[in-house]
Amino acid sequence: MEKSAKGVIDFAKANGAEFVDIKFSDFPGCWQHFTIPAGELGEKLFSEGLGFDGSSIRGWKNINESDMLVLPDPGTAFMDPFFRHPTLSLIGNIHDPITHEPYSRDPRFIARKAEQHLVDSGAAEIAYFGPEAEFFVFDDVRYAQDENSGSFRVDSVEGFWNTGRREKPNLGYKARFKEGYFPVPPTDSLQDLRSEMVKTLQRCGLTPEVQHHEVATAGQGEIDLRFQPLTRMGDALQIFKYVVKNTARAYGKTATFMPKPIYGDNGSGM
């Protein structure tokens, strides 16, 4: 990843970027984004930022004081692997447009404050984090909520409950509950999908160390990333979830990081 504003501009030109996508985390931790033409990318973008409506972001501003700024971090640059047009992706920090101070509810600012407190307290100079973000990959997801009813249903061709389902053909390779850890294909039907996720993560500048099927039936998987300091690991996890979900979608599937979508089987590490 590039580290300076000029380096990012050169990186964008070298990769033929036509657009620049700026991503940031809302207070609950979901990524938001907007896109500008590559011609708007200049060094001032990193110091002056771009304005947006903070009242439309969950947990942030009231409508009468909605203006906010996002300042891209040049150290987060990567080429987005999913957009049709070549697009440079940057992760931004949120600032107050009047004082230009970092916004207290910006998750990246909270992470940076925690890292600085660690140093100021004398406890340590740095802390590394390596969370396990496990996930399920489903072939069908349905949910409904109306005035008189509510329902949801998830399904996977790997699900053990589908051993008697009429498929074309049903070859019987379904991991039983709590027996999905490390099986080879054909029981592990998602090997190639996870490998595609790993390759895409590498193109985004991340360092995956291992991928495998996890304990649960119904397509539970794990891809471990190399440990990093808190803020960088937070960025990496956001990229990780973005890649996992979009790669699954490209394969006609849905990935979820819900903690326990299947009753009676293992949940996912968060």
Q: 244 exposed, middle or buried (CB, 10 Å; 0-12, 13-18, 19+)?
A: buried
Work out the pLDDT band at 1, boundaries 50, 70, 90.
Answer: low
Task: List 142's β-bridge partners, or say none.
Answer: 153
Q: Look-up: residue for tokens 């409904």?
A: 144
- CATH superfamily for 129-256 is Glutamine synthetase/guanido kinase, catalytic domain (3.30.590.10)
The closest alpha carbon to 20, from 123, 75, 118, 91, belongs to 91
* Three-state secondary structure readout of 203-240: HCCCCEEEEEECCCCCCEEEEEECCEEHHHHHHHHHHH
Q: How far apart are CA 100 and CA 191, in angstroms?
A: 47
Res 62: pLDDT: 72
Q: How far apart are CA 225 and CA 227, in angstroms?
A: 6
DSSP 172: -
Work out the pLDDT band at 12, boundaries 50, 70, 90.
Answer: very high
What dihedral angle (degrees, nearest 10) is formed by the CA atoms of 180, 184, 188, 190?
Answer: 130
pLDDT over 90, % of the chain: 84
Q: Where are the domains of the chain?
A: 5-115, 129-256
In this prediction, residues 6-11 reach a mean pLDDT of 95
Q: Is the pLDDT of residue 37 over 70?
A: yes
Which pLDDT tens digit goes with each residue over 38-81? Answer: 999 999 999 999 998 888 988 787 787 788 899 999 999 999 99
Long-range contacts of 42-46 (CB under 8 A, 24+ apart): 42/9, 43/5, 43/6, 43/9, 45/5, 45/72, 46/5, 46/8, 46/71, 46/72, 46/74
Dmax (CA) of the chain: 64
Res 65: pLDDT: 73
In this prediction, residues 175-188 reach a mean pLDDT of 93
Res 170: pLDDT: 78
In this prediction, residues 178-193 reach a mean pLDDT of 94
User: Would the pTM of this model clear 0.85, i.e. be above it?
Assistant: yes
Phi/psi at 50 (5° precision): -130, 145
Q: How far apart are CA 104 and CA 133, in angstroms?
A: 26
Res 249: pLDDT: 98
- CATH superfamily for 5-115 is Glutamine synthetase, N-terminal domain (3.10.20.70)
